[in-house]
A and B are shown apart, each in its own frame.
Chain A
């Protein structure tokens, strides 16, 4: 009887959990798998009919070309600089702005919040020419700084709303206790408030990083061959007459790695931060 129950339970777990999760994972990971195997296939195997699911012959020549002739590291460095700077700048400004919007009551607060939100209502292309013109006047065109500023015009408003929503849920009594214990505003913010905000800042930071890492439209306008970022560099492999699938897939595979690594660490911190925040709250 007990054995019957065990078999039933195993079957239930297998069909109810393991199998659907496995199917979902295959669905989710297959594009990444295909991207990788395409990058290590010789050209003839990429276009073979019927499809070759596992390379008969591995070649790393594409990666050699990618990091050699194509100088992909340069694009990775540019993307990393832009994404990290966008993230840090946006987090810094958004956190302070969101704090002010949440904790201070000043005239025009709601209007300002609405104005922040309205920025996201405009399509990116609409702002291309004005932003281009501004960047040119400021001498920021074709510099990573220009691209960072352009990205922050989109990431900051969103992050302000995101962080502000989180701050509202943080009890004001936490800061009051700190103020009563002798902290000033700045110290209370840094010592008490900021640690509680960690999970939210991580979530917002990951969002900003991803936005800047993957963005194409503005990057194609505000960079030149020296400051080009990964999405634009990869797009240049899609020509009028053909797609260099091997290079494109190799570039895609490499560009996914930093994001995966970041997520791996951010995820751990994110969960830890959430737990800590809940206990403190």
Chain B
């Protein structure tokens, strides 16, 4: 028995080493170091490609399994249709609440990583400061379709890195707006708000028992934790405040209005800890009458509520209006040895067939002509609201400490303020310091 155990141990050890080595050769991914080398013979493009074969790796995150499949399909189509002999290998990595950018950063710093990836503006400075992005300014300037994307968008991209270079390439911009349940509005006898004051009144009036079960439904799905900082901007500007200084009297007044929604019971009790999942779950279950989100979620609301869901831009006042643009960009890394090929892929993903397919399936895009021509754009009422919202859209100031503010300061500080543990002034002081140093 003991002898058998010893033999079994030795056998298992041998097998384990064999097993460890096995799948490496079966890996579908070329090692990052060789990612720009010649493409595999089996992936020859169909339309008599010209030039030397080029292989690129593209890392991305997907918001669900359908999107994952979609991106793989788009990349496959690109590989088969491009006439420059480019083969892109798309590898999915989890979004991991923003951990995607950390993983990518670590991989590149460790000598590996992709040639291109999806990216968020908020991570722009960290990557740029370490010289990881390729400067794509010359490619963008020479691009005949550059004008299809608004100047304000290119400006936003340049500002995100802080070095004035166009290193981040826009892919999808999703301005935040308000989703609401028309049946709730009807029951609460409120009209679609056109001013910020009306918006606050609608929140108050929609806090009532909507379905007759004896429990109160809430007017507003407040995102007090992760990602909720984007919604704060919707409140700041109508009061005359801006992101540049959160300690002004206007900012304090705006923040008090924001806090009062929770403190007066117009938002669910879970608001201080609510991130995206809690926000959407509240709306899905009919617990909330309104939430702020972007075009990315319209399909699930229509699936769930049919005609009983509509949208309007977050109203402003005569002092100002602002809404955050949820963003996903594409970047080319400095280590990419064939930036021409990478930019070809970018063009395909925006104004090319890839961009069109992406829009048709997700409703996301940049409003380029290929997108506007689709029936999906013309027949979708949410696209019109999104386009309207985009006019007042911006991003949080891309300071050096923005990531720190978003990841570590916003949620705990806002939670304390919502719970009344610190004053609005103290909370804003902390946030301002974290954001601007």
Tell me the A residues contacting B by CB distance below 8 Å. Answer: 44, 47-50, 65, 69-70, 78, 81, 84-85, 88-89, 92, 128-130, 132-133, 136-137, 139-145, 148, 190-191, 194-195, 220-221, 224-227, 232, 235-244, 247
Contacts and interface: CB of A to CB of B under 8 A. Distances in A.
B320 interface: no
13 contacts: A47-B304, A85-B17, A92-B13, A129-B109, A132-B112, A133-B110, A139-B31, A143-B23, A143-B24, A143-B27, A144-B23, A194-B2, A235-B96
Interface stretch (B73-81, B276-284, B367-375, B421-429): B276-284
A85 to B, nearest CB: 4
B65 A136 contact: no
Nearest to B59: A224
A133 to B, nearest CB: 4
B103 A221 contact: yes
Nearest to A145: B20
Interface of B: 2-3, 5-6, 9, 12-13, 16-17, 19-24, 26-29, 31-33, 61-65, 67-69, 91-97, 99, 103, 106-107, 109-112, 213, 276-277, 280-281, 284-287, 296-297, 300, 304
A194 B6 contact: yes
Contact of A236 (B68, B97, B107, B297): B68
Contact of B20 (A69, A148, A247): A148
Main SS of chain B's interface residues? helix
Leading 3 A-B pairs by shortest Cβ distance:
A239-B63, A132-B110, A143-B24
A144 B17 CA distance: 10
A85 B19 contact: yes
A236 to B, nearest CB: 4
Nearest to B33: A136
A231 B112 CA distance: 22
A143 B213 CA distance: 55
A142 B33 CA distance: 12
A225 B2 contact: no
A47 B106 contact: no
B65 A89 contact: no
A19 B300 CA distance: 44
Contacts of B213: 50
Given A81-B20, A143-B20, 16 more contacts: A47-B284, A84-B12, A129-B109, A132-B106, A141-B112, A142-B27, A143-B24, A143-B27, A148-B20, A226-B27, A227-B24, A235-B94, A239-B63, A241-B63, A242-B276, A242-B277
B6 A238 contact: no
B64 A88 contact: no
A238 B23 contact: no
A233 to B, nearest CB: 8
Nearest to A235: B94
Given A49-B286, A191-B2, A226 B23 contact: yes
A221 B13 contact: no
B23 A78 contact: yes
A142 B31 contact: yes
A211 B20 CA distance: 17
Nearest to B1: A195
A221 B94 contact: no
A132 B68 CA distance: 25
A133 B23 contact: no
A221 B110 CA distance: 10
